[in-house]
Amino acid sequence: MADSRFGEESFFFLHIDTICRTTAPTCTPSLSIPEAARQMRDQELSGLVVVEGNAPVGILSLRDLRDLMADPPADLQQVTVADIMHRGVISIRRNAYLFEAIFKMAKHRIHRLAVIDPQQGLVGVVNDTDLLSLQARSPLYLSQEMEAAESFEALREINGRILDMLRHATQTGADIRSLIQLIAHFNDNLTQRVISLLESCEGISLPKSAAYLALGSEGRGEQTLRTDQDSAMIFADTLSGEELERCRRFSERMVEVLELVGVPRCPGETMASNSQWRRSVSNWKRVLEEWIAVPNGEHMVNFGMFQDFRTVVGSPEFEQQLHEFIQAATRRNSLFFPYVAKNVVRFPAPIGMFGRIKVERSGTDRGRVNLKKAGIFAITAGISLLALEQNIHQGTTWDKIEALEKARLFSASDAATFSEAFTTLVNLRLQGQLDDIANDRPPGNSIDPMRLTERSRSQLRQALRGVNQLLRVLRDHYRLDLISR
């Protein structure tokens, strides 16, 4: 059981082996069913992990035994565990976080996971009872509450508690990448529950040949707090008038309900409720071709928002179609990549020659550093551009940096610098946003560097230097000095 020193909301960033049952009940595939049944009875077990050597290969459950006895074979003694067990054990690494186990159980609708070591050997078992016994206010409990919510008001209340949970989570020392993954899980769960309630309560759903898309940071699965909605919709060219009306109604209600449960509208109207972001396949291809062929300011902003789209609900076939089209369109327009890169490198990170952090001199951010302008945009946009050139479309910015390193676009040292810079900036933004909420301010992108600890200020300086290093890579890779002349 978990050590009592862990706080009420922080336990889910413990590692699995903190609560793993290291004496997992096991059996071999060759064990006869009567012997397996006696083992389960004598030890009062609901299941056995089936192992070969020390590697888990299956699960034998009471349900498997019940199904067998409903129509028993002539010679039960000849039936072995291998004949009826469930193969393909869902497992988790022993050093994974508890929240990863929570969402894996929810995703596969199972009650237990085999815990494995780096050599794929069985370490033990963790089940949902182990997790729920820790605390009722766990991510699993909140996730289950979200799935069981019967009203939009209930979802709003749960969404508010998730913010409280995240505030405590930042104090546990959990790495920011895992924390962002947790936020992405909750954001997706919230959206999926809204979609389910719209269908069950209001009869509103998408036609089969349509898809609702997440854009921008939500599309990449790397939002900090969900400060606004960024969405789009795509549908088949063959939809009827009635189906098009269903798409419009679904989009409008999604925006309204997400706002109701605590996700503000996009100030720039980049939402599926806006007909400019709700189009047929052929219409999207026409617009994308225009954005890519004529990379002016507005087109680059729109493409940058759309580029990392991800299907939230609906037909998944459109994703591949659009990715292939975008890839071909960028190849047809050779100036696209350098022109977008030129836009990204326009503004260097706000750090002076001797490490002085430059703050905004006017406006609402006066005396503060806008982290999105200072580097988050440059890293996400620059890395996404390089990834697109390599036909890498999906994943977080961290994932893309790793993929680009493997593709030898830059060195391991550069990859580490860019990844660490992004991690620092995202971490500081999340902490700043939670501080904004605690002080009744809308969550934003700016922080006061003078309120940081000396260590955090040093990390910020290093991150800003890393941003400028990426800008140099973009200038060299796309030979921007030649274009600017």
198-237 pLDDT tens trace: 999 999 999 999 999 999 999 999 988 877 899 999 999 9
The residues that bridge with 32 in the sheet, in sequence order, are 80
Angle between helix axes 241-260 and 152-169 (nearest 10 degrees) is 50
Closest CA to 4 of 135, 178, 182, 163: 135
The pairing of strands 91-93 and 210-214 is: unpaired
Three-class DSSP category at 292: helix
Q: Is 71 exposed, middle or buried (0-12, 13-18, 19+ CB in 10 A)?
A: exposed
Angle between helix axes 98-108 and 176-202 (nearest 10 degrees) is 30
Domain final residue, candidates 332, 349, 372 = 332
Q: CB–CB of 293/335 below 8 Å?
A: no
Q: What is the pTM of this model?
A: 0.74
Question: pLDDT band for position 46 (50/70/90)?
Answer: confident
Number of other residues whose CB lies within 10 A of the CB of residue 52: 12
Angle between helix axes 241-260 and 176-202 (nearest 10 degrees) is 120
Query: 102 in a domain, yes or no?
Result: yes
pLDDT digits (tens, 9 = 90+) for 2-44: 333 334 445 566 788 777 877 788 999 999 999 999 999 999 8
Query: 1 in a domain, yes or no?
Result: no
Three-class DSSP category at 50: strand
| Residue 339 CB contacts under 8 Å (≥ 6 apart), including other chains | 295, 300, 483
- Looking at the fold, whether 171 and 317 belong to one and the same domain comes out as yes
pLDDT digits (tens, 9 = 90+) for 338-397: 999 999 999 899 999 888 999 999 998 999 999 999 999 999 999 999 999 999 998 999
CA-angle at 268, arms to 343 and 160, nearest 5°: 115
274/251 Cα distance (integer angstroms): 8
- Looking at the fold, whether 249 and 168 belong to one and the same domain comes out as yes
- Looking at the fold, whether 251 and 173 belong to one and the same domain comes out as yes
Range of the domain at 18: 11-134
- In total, how many domains does the chain have? 3
Both tokens of 270, joined, read: 């980049």
pLDDT digits (tens, 9 = 90+) for 233-264: 999 999 999 999 999 999 999 999 999 999 99
High-pLDDT (> 90) share of the chain, %: 66
The residues that bridge with 406 in the sheet, in sequence order, are none
256/20 Cα distance (integer angstroms): 43
Q: What is the pLDDT of residue 2?
A: 35
Q: CB–CB of 382/341 below 8 Å?
A: yes
Domain final residue, candidates 332, 364, 382 = 332
pLDDT above 90 for 290: yes
- Looking at the fold, whether 304 and 226 belong to one and the same domain comes out as yes
- Looking at the fold, whether 360 and 467 belong to one and the same domain comes out as yes
Query: 371 in a domain, yes or no?
Result: yes
